[in-house]
Amino acid sequence: MSAGRAAQAAIPLTLADLEAARTRIAGAVLPTPLWRNDALARDFGVPIHFKLENLQPTGSFKLRGASHKIDRLLARRGQLRGVIAASAGNHAQGVARAALVNALPATVVMPLAASLTKIDACRGLAAEVVLAGANLEEAKVLAERLAAERGLEFVHPYDDWEIIAGQASVGLEIIETLPAASLVIVPLGGGGLLSGVALAIKLQRPDVRVVGVQTESVAPFRRFLEDGTLEVVPPMAHTIADGIKVKAPGVFTRRVIAGYVDAIVTVDDNAIAEAMVCLLERTRTIGEGAGVVALAALLKGKVVPRPDDCVVVLVSGGNADMTLVGRSIDYGLASSGRLMSVAVRVADSPGRLAALLGGVAELGMNVRHVEHRRGELHVPVGMTEIILQIETRDFAHQRELLDQFAGQGLDARNLVDPA
């Protein structure tokens, strides 16, 4: 813990600084709901609360830090030619809205593969959108160059003390609204949100456990709390949690995380998709991939509450690309055993499909889609392969169907292996 103590000494933010930042942005952001979810509380045997930052005007917590940074820039400079940011989307929207409110020109540089939903949202906030680079790091290089060429102020998405102070208002709200909180689970990308929340909570309640959650495929902080190293992320690493697809964590955020965060865990895309479905069902709100990783960690047992815990799950954003929502929901349903695709080979004769569907109905399943395959090399002449996409309760329910087919002597295989 000596490294952690040293990191604490190097942090220039006090609780008074965080409170002052919160006051400055009070008119620009919403104090979001901290909502107890009774169904999850029953499942886990402890109180579970969602901190719903997906309900911010821009759909994510990023508005907090951006609003505070621009407030401080204006306080120091008085006049600005404009601001510029590099972002996969949420920080860009936060900067665009904060700039618009203050009558400042805003430019946002977004990776070429950025969500169309987020691109349109930035343009709707009067920002100039520049698409460049294969990832956030490449977009940042261009943004910094444009800042120098145009005389704009670069607003970093996470590695800035004033950004961190703005994000800390989330943690202040948690402790103020729920003093009994004892475990707070937070998404982790570059570290601005986790740093701010950890500072706001630990400076008041050192006993509260704060856990950061990264996506499995982009996890530079994976072993950071164990040995201080950052993992190199492969260039082609992919995740549906694009908002935390950060390969180069901040220097300032590392200091805070080293001294104030208790654990860091990772979750894969299957778990993230399941969490998106769970959040939609339990709260009737949408969480993007990056926004629900904390919930995914709870659902998959990556973070285990103690018997006397009061848990807060931070939902950091809801700007899901609508073209991906349906696919993500199906992905989450399949990975949790609620949607299956099964291939059944039967004689190509009248009545066989009706018999199959009758057996499915007897088990209380709903058929979503039916497909026939004939004339393919793996299907013998005189036979047909029927693909059924079926809504089920869980993997045990799916096993009942496969056992039924086996009992009838049918050649059936699950096209999605639950293992």
The string of pLDDT tens digits covering residues 173-195 is: 999 999 999 999 999 999 999 99
Is 50 exceeded by the pLDDT of residue 2?
no
Alpha carbons 301 and 367: distance in angstroms, whole number:
31
Same domain, 177 and 215: yes
Please state whether 82 falls in left (phi above 0), alpha (psi between -120 and 50) or beta. Answer: left
Same domain, 292 and 216: yes
Copy the structure tokens of residue 84. Answer: 């510029």
Q: Domains in the chain: how many in total?
A: 3
Lowest average pLDDT, out of 53-57, 297-301, 391-395, 414-418, goes to 414-418
Angle at 74 (CA atoms; ends 20, 244), nearest 5 degrees? 70
Q: DSSP alpha helices (H): ranges in 57-185?
A: 62-77, 90-101, 116-124, 136-150, 161-177
CB 160 within 8 A of CB 69: yes
Question: In CATH, what number is assigned to the domain containing residue 115?
Answer: 3.40.50.1100
Q: Which of 131, 154, 177 is the last residue of a domain?
A: 154
Same domain, 306 and 396: no
Amino acid making up residue 197? V
The pLDDT of 3-13, averaged and rounded, is 68
pLDDT computed for residue 9 by the predictor: 56
Same domain, 281 and 377: no
Same domain, 288 and 179: yes
The pLDDT of 333-340, averaged and rounded, is 86
128: in domain = yes
- Nearest Cα neighbor of 144 from 135, 155, 134 is 155
33: in domain = yes
Same domain, 169 and 262: yes
Same domain, 39 and 88: no
- Look at residue 126 and give its three-state secondary structure: coil
Q: What is the average pLDDT score of the chain?
A: 92
Question: In CATH, what number is assigned to the domain containing residue 344?
Answer: 3.30.70.260
Alpha carbons 397 and 381: distance in angstroms, whole number:
32
Compute, in degrees rounded to 10, the torsion defined by CA atoms 350, 351, 352, 354.
Answer: 140
Find how far residue 170's CA is from the centre of its chain.
16
Range of the domain at 94: 62-154
Alpha carbons 33 and 378: distance in angstroms, whole number:
55
Quick: pLDDT tens for 209-266. 999 999 999 999 999 999 999 999 998 888 989 889 888 889 999 999 999 999 999 9
In sequence order, which residues have a C-beta less than 8 Å from that of residue 276 and are 6 or more positions away?
A: 286, 287, 288, 289, 292, 320, 325, 328, 329, 332
106: in domain = yes
Q: Which of 84, 119, 154 is the last residue of a domain?
A: 154
